[in-house]
Structures are given as structure tokens and as C-alpha cells.
Amino acid sequence: MSNKSIYNVKKNYYTGNYKENTQLDTDDATLYYKSLSIIDNYINNGPSTESTDLKTEYQQLIISDDSTLSALFDKYITIVDSGSDEGILDGVDMKDILSIEDPQTVNYALTLYFKILLKNSALSLDEVFKSISQVYKTLIKDLLAANNDALYPYMELTFLLGQIASSLKNWDYLQGLIEFLNGKVDLASEDEIMLSFLELIYGVSSLDTQSKESGFYFVEDLVFNSSGNNLFVNLLMINLQLSNKNYEEAEQLISKIKSEEDLSQAGVFYEYFLIAQINYYLQVGDGDKDIIQSLREELSQVCELNGTTDRNPYLIEQKALSASFDTITSKYL
């Protein structure tokens, strides 16, 4: 596969344009991103009309073999379908993954390993972070000691580590990752989109005006160059418009998405669209309490159907606020 093709595959995946990747021919160069695109399209956009579960959908497009990556994908799919993390990584030894000779395969396998580990309800996010950061530290130490001119082979693992750090609001660690990627290693051109997203996450979280502006232009470019109506990219732009208090532009994007005939109301992306609308009405302060309540009720219903009630960040925050309020009021009632 040419560098241009790899660039398009990665861009499609990280901008939520999964369906393009699901149509790829399956080979060693496409297996990882085609497989992830099938899984994430199912999670974020809902199942296709031809399948009842992820495994069925996956097997229609991918023929598994006896490789480490295929074994990890099978485990990942089983967890998504069943919701059970019992024996989550039975038969998978981290030492076996680290002993693989090809650094890119190690990178993909470790990223999958920790994606699966994130679904282990017995582990906290902080525990997973400590585990992945320790493995990453060892890999980078060995990489720098080798002192070769090869392109950086661990970008997918680094991106996942950065996502976890941002979820934990460990901004110093995320900043360190970004500085390392910018100053210590050579990235393949197709991997720069992952660095741009990490910079976007850090920029939006910081008070630095220049970083926020850079993030805005990055997303604006994605919107301009996206084919068709890309819900994920439009959601990014809505949230940036809201953070900049550009309410008219945010409203226009919300109306544009709502007018789409093929808008799927299943999957995680639709959950985030409902959250974006709630945030919009809360910020404009037009007194639309009935609309906000209706959106919250729809969000709860969609999350219940998706099985994401315990993972949706808005519902988690609302539950925590409610618990805090109950604790406070109980002292005075």
C-alpha cells in the first residue's frame, strides 16, 4: 500500500469516516485499521441492518487467522458484544507481544491489549494508565538507545496513552508526550493526524489562546476537506464554537445535522450530539428548560439502548452531581 493510501486510511479512521475503511481489501497493511473501523463504526454509529451483533458484522468483512492481532480482535469483539470482562485477557501474555520482532506489530498489538484492558471493570483508569505508561517508558528507552534513523513506530500506542492521560486530566503528562513527539522522533506523514488531535485536546483544555486557535483551524480544515456529512467532525466543530461562544455558528451546525435524512440515532456519536445540544441550550440561556429536559430524557433512553449508561460522561457527571446534592441536603433535612 502506498504512503498516500495509508494516509487516507488513517485519516478516515481518526475523523470517524469508518465506512470508507470497511470496504478495503484485507491484507497485512489494512487489517488493523479495517478491523478497528468495523468495530468503532458499530459502536459509534450503531449496527448495520444486515447484522444483529458485532461478531456477525465483523465476520462478514474479515477472515480471522491465527495471528496475535486476530486473537486480540476476537477478544475485543467478544467483550463489546457480551459486555462481560470475565477472563478478559486469558491466554494473552504481554511478554509474547513484546517478543514480536516487528515494532509496528508490537505497536498495534499493545494498543489492542490496552484497549481491551480499558474494558476491565476490575481496573480503574488510573491503574490502566500506570500499566501502559510503564510499558511505553520501556519501549521508548530501548528505542532511543538503539539510536537509529527509523520512523517512530509506536504512534498508535502513544495516541491511546495521550487519550487516557487527557481523561485523567493529566495535562502535564500529555504536554510531555506532545513535546517528545515534536522534538525527539521522526513521525511518518500519515501519523501526524494523531499528533494534531493530541495537540487539539491539550489546546482546548488549556487557557492558551494560541493553542485554542490552532485547534480551531485544524478542525476547520477537517470540516472543509471532509466528504459528505461527517458527524464526528461536525461535533468537534460544534464544541469548539461553543467554547468560543460562537452560538450562531453552533446552532447552524446543529440544524444541519438534524436535517440529515440518514442520521443514525444509534451509537455513541448520536449520544454526543445530544450532549452538544444540551450544552448549547444551557449556554445560550434562553430558558428552554423543556427542550433541555427532553434532550436529557432522550440521552438516557439512547444510552440505555446502547448499554452505555455507566460510561456516558454526561450521565456520569450528572449522577455525581446528584449524589453530591443529596449528601449536602441530607445534612439539613
Indicate whether 7 belongs to any domain. Answer: yes
C-alpha cell read off for 40: 468503532
Residue 326 has pLDDT above 50, yes or no: no
Q: What's the Cα-to-Cα distance from 7 to each of 156, 192, 194, 289, rounded to whole Å?
A: 14, 9, 11, 45
C-alpha to C-alpha distance for 74 and 58, rounded to whole angstroms: 9
Give the pLDDT confidence score for residue 270 in this predicted structure: 92
pLDDT digits (tens, 9 = 90+) for 113-141: 999 999 888 889 999 999 999 999 999 99
Indicate whether 126 belongs to any domain. Answer: no
Instruction: Output the DSSP codes for 85-104.
Output: -TTTTTT--HHHHHT-S-HH
Indicate whether 157 belongs to any domain. Answer: no
Which of 63, 85, 112 is the endpoint of a domain? 63
pLDDT digits (tens, 9 = 90+) for 12-42: 999 999 999 999 988 888 899 999 999 999 9
Indicate whether 330 belongs to any domain. Answer: yes
Which of 63, 79, 108 is the endpoint of a domain? 63
Which of 48, 63, 78 is the endpoint of a domain? 63
Binning pLDDT at 50, 70 and 90, where does residue 207 land? low
Indicate whether 146 belongs to any domain. Answer: no
Output b/e per residue, 253-280; b: 16+ Cβ within 10 A: bbeebeeeeeeeebbbbbbbbbbbbbbb
pLDDT digits (tens, 9 = 90+) for 282-312: 999 866 788 999 999 999 998 888 888 777 7
pLDDT digits (tens, 9 = 90+) for 226-252: 766 788 999 999 998 998 889 999 999
Indicate whether 152 belongs to any domain. Answer: no
How many domains would you assign to the chain? 2
Q: What is the DSSP letter of 84?
A: -
- Comparing CA positions, the residue from 138, 133, 136 lying closest to residue 170 is 133
Contact status, residue 123 vs residue 164, Cβ threshold 8 Å: no
Give the pLDDT confidence score for residue 50 in this predicted structure: 63
Indicate whether 264 belongs to any domain. Answer: yes
- Comparing CA positions, the residue from 131, 199, 186, 195 lying closest to residue 153 is 186
Indicate whether 184 belongs to any domain. Answer: no
Range 184-193 average pLDDT: 94
> Could you list the residue range(s) of the whole structural domain that residue 29 is in?
1-63
